[in-house]
Structure 1
Amino acid sequence: MVISGVGVDLTRTSVSWCKIRNWSLATLSLISFSCSCLATINQFFMTSQSASIRRLSSIKWAPRILLIMIFVWCCHGIPFLLFYDISPLTGTCISTNSAFAVYFPSIYILILDCTIPVSVMIVFGYLAYRNIRSTRALAEQQADRQFTRMILIETVLVTISNVQYGINGAYTVITAGMSKDANRLQIENFVATLSNLGCYLYFSGSCYAFLLSSSRFRKAAKKLLFFWQNTNQIHP
């Protein structure tokens, strides 16, 4: 917002912010995608008819898995702190390591930011939905109807935000060595801006979409947000 609205780009003047910003973008996005993937996998475990698979969904393991996942992605972001710097030639924040410049953004965007999370959420979301459809108790509670809407919305958000972002990233990598005129560069910059904005749709839209699609999610969210209104009552 500061860069686009005010025109002040601190990544051109502050080496620390140049490093921290790119580390944050890479690390926090992967943590968010991983949490969504783990939640989808956990839904598959919880709705399975197999007792051994249901036992894999354990609340005591959730904090441990979460801490391990955060640690892994924080370590994954260390090269961003080491290799990103302000170029003395262009004055922009870029990677000073040629090998890491190949990994980010091409491999990072296409595999970690697009292919893996989209595939995991679609596959395990479908498997969880199939489990619900085959379980009479959950179907009688109309859990399948609300769950179907939530999974469909999640899949649509992931598809719209990540797939187009991955396609634009692939196009950028493929055409990196081509000579382009000023008009084509302006068009590509415009498309890249739209792609970046579309990528934010997943991070900002999931919660609101769930609130609109599921009454149970709304009740749970209201109970958590307005926890001070939850009063205990003594019944005879």
Structure 2
Amino acid sequence: MASTEGREGQTPGEGMTMKDHLLTKGAEMLQSMKPIKQYKQHVCTFALYSHDMNRQIETHHFVHRLNEDFCQCPVYDSDDRAGRLIGVEYIISDRLFEALPPDEQKLWHSHYFEIKSGLWVNPRVPETVAKPGLDIFAKTYGKFWCTWQTDRGDLLPIGEPALMVSPQGEVAGMVKAPLLQQRDEKYALSSTKISDLRVDITGPTFKNPNADYWIKHGKGFAIDVLTAEMKKITPFP
């Protein structure tokens, strides 16, 4: 692998050649890219590592709503052209969440506090335009796996995935002031003023205690990669 940095961000690798650009452009002209074109909404918020909540990151979620109860989101560390794909989040309605087994529910976090407090924003979209959708998202739950821990300086997506949790009103789940200030200044907005405009937003009728599991139990979740015996390969006839 080349040791020089590419022209985009801090990711190792050589810059794209003219041939690479031509091949990419040709593919773009010939292929539909239909799943990619379904991402219609950009959300900027924050996430904390389940196993170490001192580590907090700004995240950029690009939302595709498959139906009224389910959304899927690639997550980036920024919204510029050098943004790195750091994970994926799935978002489900409270109706789908309540149907999950209890052990599965423990892996999911609520969105109500993020939205109510003004941490969750749609950059460059007026609050009056965004708010009707926020009423819906405030009643949802998310499961976010981070696959590239750029905040610790990883130049490549190495190691095991990390489960992320959402900011909450509890002390351990509060977003650090400098991180929030940096985000607000970047988009010329005030999370405090946005929060004041969201006083009438309500969350799920019933807040399931299995979500945001750490609040009640003080425990997060982490993945260990284990060596496993491969299943015997059945030869083709």
TM category, shorter: under 0.3
**Structure with greater Cα Rg:** 1
Structure with greater helix percent: 1
Q: Hey, which of these two has a bigger chunk of strand by percent?
A: 2
